[in-house]
Structure 1
Amino acid sequence: MSEKELVQEAKTRESMKAEKKDKPKKEAAPKRWVRVRMLPIWLRILLVILFLAASLALGAMIGYGVIGDGNPADVFKKETWQHIVDIVMKK
């Protein structure tokens, strides 16, 4: 590069620095973390309740049918639960 080009480049750099100083600086707002939820909270609560009910039913079926040597479908009959309540209350 020639001396003339170096002087022009130096002037250009100085003018760019001056422009940066002259511009009012925007105050940097604190960045907020935005979380995009895949499932809304109400749906999560509903799913937890459904999973709890399903696990309760499955556990009762396994307990009554496999461990207790009964028919797993009998767990959903009212007579089975009435019999269990009678045993517990000793009627």
Structure 2
Amino acid sequence: MSKENKPPKRKTATWRIVFRWMIPLFLFLSLIGGMMVGYVVLGKEEMSEVFQLETWEHVMDLIFAP
């Protein structure tokens, strides 16, 4: 086949898929890291409490208290 008869190469969508998943993944990891740093380092509390729902319910109650 000559160059004129070759079909154009399709760019693989693999990189687009990877980049579309990397951004939300990095945002999620930043959220978790920020929660851990803020609660453990700044708040001087135990890391096991970071992932308890009651902790964040209490924080939301403090923020939105009338």
CA distance in 2, matches of 1:89, 1:47: 33
State percent identity of aligned pairs: 32
Q: What is the aligned-residue RMSD (CA, Å)?
A: 2.1
- Normalising by structure 1, what TM-score? 0.53
Deviation at 1:42, TM superposition (A): 1.6
Whether the aligned pair in 2 keeps the contact of 1:61 and 1:75 (CA below 8 Å) is: yes
2:49 corresponds to 1:89: no
Structure 1 stretches of 5 or more lacking a match? 1-33
Flag the structure with higher helix content: 1
Displacement over 2 Å in runs of 4+: none
Query: Is 1:46–2:21 an aligned residue pair?
Result: yes
Shift of 1:52: 0.9
> For structure 2, which runs of at least 5 residues remain unmatched after alignment?
1-8
Q: Which has the higher contact order (CA 8 A, sep 6+)?
A: 2
1:9-88 to 2 correspondences below 5 Å: 39-88=14-63
Size of the aligned set, in residue pairs, is 57
Q: Give 3-state SS (helix, strand or coil) of 2:50's partner.
A: helix
